[in-house]
Structure 1
Amino acid sequence: MTRLGCHKEEVFKHFCFCSQNCTALSNFIRVPFIRIQMARIQITFFIIINSVLPHTHSANVYSALLPYRVTALTGSCVQIPCTFEVSDFETKLQKTKQLYGIWLMNSPHFGRDDSFLVFNGSENTIQGFSHIEMIGKLNERNCTTVFYNIMMNHSHTYYFRLQMEPNVFRATFNTNTADSSDSRKTVRINVTDSPHPPELSITPNVSKYVREGTSVSLRCSAEAPCPKQPPTLSWSLIPTSANITTQIQENLDKTQSVISTITFIASYTDHKKNISCIVTYPTHISVKRTIKLLFHFPPKTTSISVRPSASVSVGTNVTLTCKCKASPFKSINYTWYKRGQETPLAWEINITLIVTHNNTGWYFCTAQNQFGNQTSEEIQLTIKEYGGLSKSVIYGCTGGLLSLLVISAVFVYCVRTRASSQTNIKGRDETEDKNKDMEISSNNAVEMTIKSGVTEEETDEIHYGEIDFSKLHTDPETENADIQRSERKRQFNSDQKQEDLYAQVKTK
C-alpha cells in the first residue's frame, strides 16, 4: 500500500485524525465516520449559541442616529437631530422613575476628567453655552437638541447619553472605532463665519441647451442649521412669468434645508441671462450662486440697417446689413431679396450697392437656422434731389417762410394803425382843452369890463330908487359874444358825446 502523508493543518481542515503512518486504506475507512461525527458536533454547537446569545446581548443592544457633522454659523443656533433605539425600551420605561438626557463634549466617558458635561437634563445644567434646549421627547426615542448662540470655541465632538433611573439603563451613544459596522454614532459641530453657497441646479440641464418653449425649473437649496431661524432665499433677474415656491425639506441625516424652486417657460428674451439665488441668514450674512441660461431659438427681431443712409445721391455706396437674434448664432443663413424679383440677390449677412436709378426700390432679407426662419420688413432705397433736399422738404420750407412773412406784415400794419388812432384822439383832447381855456378867459374878461364901468366914488352916490331900468340896453358886442359862447358850448357837448361813444366802442 502506498502511504498517504498529510500535514497537520491539512488533517484538521479535512478532519483527518490519523497519524503520519496511516495508510490509504485506513483513511478510506475512517474518514467518512469522522466527518459524520464532526457534522453532528457543529450542529449542536450552533443551536447552543443561537439559544444563548439573544438572551446574553438583549440587555446591551442600543444605537443612536445622528448626523456625522453639522455646520453652524457664529452667533446663530444649531439643531442636532437625534433618535435612538434601546432593546425592550417600553419594558424599561415602565420601570423608570426618571428619564433624562446628557450631552458630553470631547469624550464619551461620563464622570471622567477628559469629558466635559455641557448639558444635564435632570438638573437643567448648562455649561459653556448660553442656552441648550432638548426639543425631542425622550419617551418617544427622540433626543433632538438645539444649541443657541454658537461661538467659534464650540467646534467639538459631542456625545449623547441616556439615563433611565433608578439604574434601569445608562449608556453613552458613541462611535465604536473597533467595529466599523456599529450603528452607534456621535456628531461633530463645525462653527464658521461664512456659510456654504447654496446648491443651484436646473432642469433640463442647460449644458445641453434648452429649446425655446420648454418648461424650465431652477432649484436652489441652502442649509438650515437652525430650523427655528431658517435663512431666506431670494432670486435676481428671474423671468417675469416665473412661479416661485419655497419649503423646508428634511435630509437623509435628519438635518434640514430650505428649498426654493422657480418654474418658467424658456424664451429668447432670457437667453444668456445670469440668474442668482441669494441666501440670507439671520446673522445678516448672505451668500449666492449664479447660473447662466442658454436657450436655442429661431431668428427673432429680424431687421435691416443701412449705412450711410437709405436716401443718397447717385453713385454712392450703400451697405445693407441683416440683423437678428438667434441661437445658435453661427448657423444662421441669410438671403436677400428685392421686391418684384423672385431670384435672391445674395446669401450674405450684408450687401453693398452702388446707387443708380435702376437699383432703387424696396429690399428685404430672411434669416434662418435649424429651428426656424424670419423675414425682415422692407426698406426703400431712394435717390436724393435738389442738392440733397427732396421736393417735399423744399416746398414745406418755402410755404413756411411765406406764411411767416404774411403774419409779420399783418402784425406791423395793426401796430401802426393803433398808434395813429391813439395820436388823433390825443390831439383832439388837447384842442378841446384849449377851447375850454379860451371860453373861461373870455367870460372873465366880460366880468372885468362890467365891473370896471363903475368907480368907487360913483358907488357911494348911487340910490336904488333913482335907477331907470327902461334906459338900460344891450351892447351889440356883448350879445355877439354870448351867442358865440353858446355855440361853442353846444359844439363841445357834441364832441364830448362822440368821444364817450368812441371810448365805449374801444372798450368793447
Structure 2
Amino acid sequence: MKYDYIYSAVMPQTVTALTGSCVQIPCTFSISNFEDKRKRAKSIYGIWLKKQSQYASKDSFIAFNSSENIIRGFKDIKMTGDLNERNCTTVFYNIMMNHSDRYYFRLEIEPCKCANSHPKYSPQPPELKPSEPQYVMEESTVNLSCSAEAPCPTQPPNISWSNIPESASITTQLQDKPDKTQSVFSYMTFKASYTDHKKKITCTATYPRNMPNDSTVEGNIMLRVLFPPKETCIIITPSVGTNVTLTCKSKASPSNDLKYTWYKRGQETPIAWKKKINLTKTQTASYFCTAQNKHGKQSSEDVQLTDEGEFTQFKYRYSMPRIACCVGGIVAVLTLSAFGFCIRYI
C-alpha cells in the first residue's frame, strides 16, 4: 500500500517523571494535505504504543487508544491536545517504575510511525545559574535563577530558597521550554554585602505526588563577594614579663593579598609592615594599624601602652570604638584589668 503523505511529529525524546505523579508529553505533528484528509476522514484519533512503533497485532502493545478510550497499564491517560489542531499532547497519570519504556505515538488517519519518549522516574536536582561560584563586588546587584522540571502540569514542584541575603527579592513562575515541556523558574535578586561572602545558598524543589511522601531535591551555590577591609582591630597577646604582641586583624576579600602597616600615633612614618609587632614596657605610646587590599583600606582604633613602673605585667583598658572588631568593636588602652567586648587574650 502506498501512502500519499509526509508525516512528522515533534516531542521530547526523553521525559522525566516522578513516581506517584503524572507526566505530560508535549506532542505536535504535521502531515501533508492534512486539512483535506481531515475533512474526508470519518474520525481522527491517536494511539500510544509501548515498546514498538508498528501497529502490531498484539493489543498488549497499545497503552492508549483515544477513539475507544482504551487504557492499559496506567491508572489514567488523557489526550489534552486537539488532534484537529495537530496537537497530540498527552498526560499519563500515576506513574510507576514499571512504566519506564519507549512509547510511540500513532495518528489514525493513515498508518504512521512517530517519535518516541523514554520516561524516567526520579527528579533531577534543580538547576542553578550561574552554576559555578562567581566573584561579585560588594554593593553590586546579583541575579540568581533556579529551575526545576515540571513533568506533571497539575502538580508542579514548589521551589524554596534557604540561607539567602536579607535584601533578597524572589519571583517564581511556571514557564514553557522550547521543547514544549515545562519547568518552574525562581529568580532571586539582591545587593551583595560583605556578610554574604562564602554564604552557601540552597534551592530546594519539592514535588507533590500521590504517595505518602513528597520527593525533594536541592542544589546550592556559594557566594564569593569582593570587598575592602572591614572590622579592622588589634588583638593583644600579653606574656609574663615586659613583652606584649599586637596583631592586626581584618576581614577582606580577597584576603591573600592583605597588607598590614603599623603606626605610632603622632608619627607619619610607619614603624612596621607586617601583621604582628612585639613591644616592650618602655615603648609607651598609642599604636594603630591599617589593613589594605586592592579594593581599599581601613584603620583600627588606637591601643595605648602605658608604663606603670611598679608592675611587671601590662594592663589593659577598653573604650568604645568607631569600628567593630568582634561584637561592636573596641579601643584598647593597656592597664591592669581587662573589661570590654572585643580585645581577645590568647
Give the TM-score taking structure 2 as reference length: 0.83
Task: Say whether the 8 Å CA contact 1:107–1:115 is kept in structure 2.
Answer: no
**1:361-407 deviations in whole A, cap 9, x for unaligned?**
321111111111111111222344776899xxxxxxxxxxxxxxxxx
Find the residue that maps to 2:98 and give its secondary structure: helix
Find the residue that maps to 1:156 and give its secondary structure: coil
Partner of 2:112: 172
Matches within 5 A, 1:51-200: 59-113=4-58, 116-163=61-108, 169-174=109-114, 185-190=115-120, 192=121, 194-200=122-128
Task: Say whether the 8 Å CA contact 1:109–1:115 is kept in structure 2.
Answer: no
Distance, in Å, in 2 between the alignment partners of 1:132 and 1:369 is 63
1:261 corresponds to which of 176, 183, 187: 187
Task: Say whether the 8 Å CA contact 1:131–1:149 is kept in structure 2.
Answer: yes
Partner of 1:324: 250
Distance, in Å, in 2 between the alignment partners of 1:277 and 1:389 is 52
Find the residue that maps to 1:72 and give its secondary structure: coil
Structure 1 residue 320 displacement after superposition: 0.9
Partner of 2:270: 344
Distance, in Å, in 1 between the alignment partners of 2:37 and 2:43 is 11
Structure 1 residue 213 displacement after superposition: 2.5
Aligned length: 309
Task: Tell me how large the CA RMSD over aligned residues is.
Answer: 2.3
AA at the equivalent of 2:150: A
Task: Say whether the 8 Å CA contact 2:13–2:117 is kept in structure 1.
Answer: yes
Distance, in Å, in 2 between the alignment partners of 1:84 and 1:272 is 49
Distance, in Å, in 2 between the alignment partners of 1:383 and 1:172 is 100
Task: Say whether the 8 Å CA contact 1:101–1:121 is kept in structure 2.
Answer: yes
Find the residue that maps to 2:171 and give its secondary structure: strand
Unaligned runs of 5+ in 1: 1-56, 164-168, 175-184, 391-508
Matches within 5 A, 1:213-362: 213-283=139-209, 284-308=214-238, 316-356=242-282, 359-362=283-286
Distance, in Å, in 1 between the alignment partners of 2:42 and 2:299 is 86
AA at the equivalent of 1:237: N
Task: Say whether the 8 Å CA contact 2:238–2:314 is kept in structure 1.
Answer: no
Distance, in Å, in 2 between the alignment partners of 1:159 and 1:106 is 8
Distance 1:152 1:206, change over 3 A: closer
**1:156-203 deviations in whole A, cap 9, x for unaligned?**
11111222xxxxx222332xxxxxxxxxx222222x2x3221221228
AA at the equivalent of 1:342: E
Structure 1 residue 128 displacement after superposition: 0.8
Distance, in Å, in 2 between the alignment partners of 1:151 and 1:58 is 38
Partner of 1:12: none
Distance, in Å, in 1 between the alignment partners of 2:255 and 2:99 is 55
Partner of 2:327: none
**1:295-338 deviations in whole A, cap 9, x for unaligned?**
221111111111229xx9xx621111111001111111111112
Find the residue that maps to 1:340 and give its secondary structure: coil
Distance, in Å, in 1 between the alignment partners of 2:171 and 2:113 is 39
**1:103-153 deviations in whole A, cap 9, x for unaligned?**
111122224228611111112121111111111111111110000001111
Find the residue that maps to 1:70 and give its secondary structure: coil
Distance, in Å, in 2 between the alignment partners of 1:157 and 1:352 is 76
Find the residue that maps to 2:44 and give its secondary structure: strand
Task: Say whether the 8 Å CA contact 2:203–2:219 is kept in structure 1.
Answer: yes
Task: Say whether the 8 Å CA contact 2:198–2:224 is kept in structure 1.
Answer: yes
AA at the equivalent of 2:16: T
Task: Say whether the 8 Å CA contact 2:133–2:221 is kept in structure 1.
Answer: no
**1:182-235 deviations in whole A, cap 9, x for unaligned?**
xxx222222x2x3221221228x634x222222221121211111211111111
Task: Say whether the 8 Å CA contact 1:77–1:149 is kept in structure 2.
Answer: yes
Give the TM-score taking structure 1 as reference length: 0.57
2:206 is aligned with 1:206: no
AA at the equivalent of 2:65: N
Distance, in Å, in 1 between the alignment partners of 2:218 and 2:117 is 28
Distance, in Å, in 2 between the alignment partners of 1:389 and 1:117 is 91
Distance 1:333 1:251, change over 3 A: same
Find the residue that maps to 1:59 and give its secondary structure: coil
Find the residue that maps to 1:254 and give its secondary structure: coil
Task: Say whether the 8 Å CA contact 2:281–2:314 is kept in structure 1.
Answer: no
Distance, in Å, in 2 between the alignment partners of 1:71 and 1:173 is 22
Unaligned runs of 5+ in 2: 316-346
Instruction: Kindly indicate which of the two structures has a greater share of residues assigned to helix.
Output: 1
Task: Say whether the 8 Å CA contact 2:226–2:254 is kept in structure 1.
Answer: yes
Matches within 5 A, 1:355-504: 355-356=281-282, 359-384=283-308
Distance, in Å, in 1 between the alignment partners of 2:42 and 2:3 is 22
Identity %: 58
Structure 1 residue 58 displacement after superposition: 8.3
Distance, in Å, in 2 between the alignment partners of 1:92 and 1:386 is 111
Distance, in Å, in 1 between the alignment partners of 2:6 and 2:175 is 31
Find the residue that maps to 2:178 and give its secondary structure: coil
AA at the equivalent of 1:199: E
Instruction: Kindly indicate which of the two structures has a greater share of residues assigned to strand.
Output: 2
Find the residue that maps to 2:35 and give its secondary structure: helix
AA at the equivalent of 2:304: Q
Distance 1:63 1:316, change over 3 A: same
**1:49-90 deviations in whole A, cap 9, x for unaligned?**
xxxxxxxx9832111111101111111111100001111222
Larger Rg: 1
Task: Say whether the 8 Å CA contact 1:60–1:87 is kept in structure 2.
Answer: yes
Task: Say whether the 8 Å CA contact 1:159–1:172 is kept in structure 2.
Answer: no
Task: Say whether the 8 Å CA contact 2:5–2:33 is kept in structure 1.
Answer: no
